[in-house]
Amino acid sequence: MLCAGALSWASASQARDVAFVACPIVQDTSNVPCWLSEHGGEVYYLGIQSDVSAAFNPPSLGHLALVEGTVSEGERICGGLVLEPVKVSIMPALSPECDELRMVQPGLELPFEPPRPPGPSSGRLAFAPPPPAPPPTPPFEAKTFEIFFPFEGTVDFKTPDALQAVLAYARAVGEVRLQVRAQRAAVRLSDGQVIAEREGIAAVRAREIGRMFAALGEGIAQVEVASSDVPQLGDWRQRKVEITVTPCDEAGRPGC
């Protein structure tokens, strides 16, 4: 009985995580639009339309989206079950069938006040930038940072922000060697299908990140770039670049 109960609990826990590829849907409201998606006869709420300051990056009509998230049971927004956390990746191929825009419907309203009203931002972003992190302090040792990507994604407008912690540590250390390692990922969808990122995507990510740091020059004595094209099965955390910052004194001065 204990074994059966444990299996039942594990199945219920796993059922809360979903991963699927489907068309995104825009659900208009009296305030700002919601983004939804449908899978397996259920509607899921992904997030609201905002701007580049938001953590949620909305999908795009005209493209399928890979949706990965955890279901918040019983909670609905804009008629859809809430996924929190949620990661949405725009699939690169054009899918003109993904063009559904639903008009305002009674009862489908946001249960919260959006960070800014609809329409152009007039220069005001919805979310204030996070407070700056405290500067790194000694002792300085080799330290590894992880940068994550959408499915099939490479460097985009959010990447520089993600690299700030790496750059701050490197500058605090002084002279460093950087090792950039990227990997390709695969995702098992809720229906059992496995989809893998395209071959060569890891090399592209590593090369782009390496170039960004090599261009800085000052304080970075060496940038080593490597990648693996073997798909790593898992969730969005497998779509990453690891950047190891090693102080030159620790790496050994000759050639750093």
pLDDT on residue 79: 94
Q: Radius of gyration (Cα) for the chain, nearest Å?
A: 21
10-residue mean pLDDT series, the chain (256 residues): 37 68 96 95 94 86 97 90 95 97 91 76 69 85 96 92 91 93 97 97 96 80 94 96 91 56
Q: Are residues 149 and 208 in the same domain?
A: yes
Q: Which residue range(s) make up the domain with 218?
A: 143-251
The reply to whether 97 and 150 lie within a common domain is no
Q: Is residue 256 part of a domain?
A: no
C-alpha span between 255 and 88 (Å, rounded)? 42
What whole-number distance in Å separates Cα of residue 144 and Cα of residue 166? 9
Number of separate domains in the chain: 2
User: Own/partner pairs for 80-84, CB < 8 Å, 24+ apart?
Assistant: 80/27, 80/34, 80/36, 80/37, 80/43, 80/44, 80/45, 80/46, 81/42, 81/43, 81/44, 81/45, 82/44, 82/45, 83/18, 83/44, 83/45, 83/46
Is 112 part of a structural domain of the chain?
no
**CATH number reported for the structural domain that contains residue 86 in this entry:** 2.40.50
Rounded Cα distance, 43 and 62, in Å? 19
* Confidence at residue 6, expressed as pLDDT on a 0 to 100 scale: 36
pLDDT at 15: 46
Residue 162: which CATH number?
A: 3.30.1330.60
Residue 44 lies in a domain: yes
Give the domain-ending residue among 41, 71, 102.
Answer: 102
Same domain, 169 and 93: no
Domain-embedded: residue 231:
yes
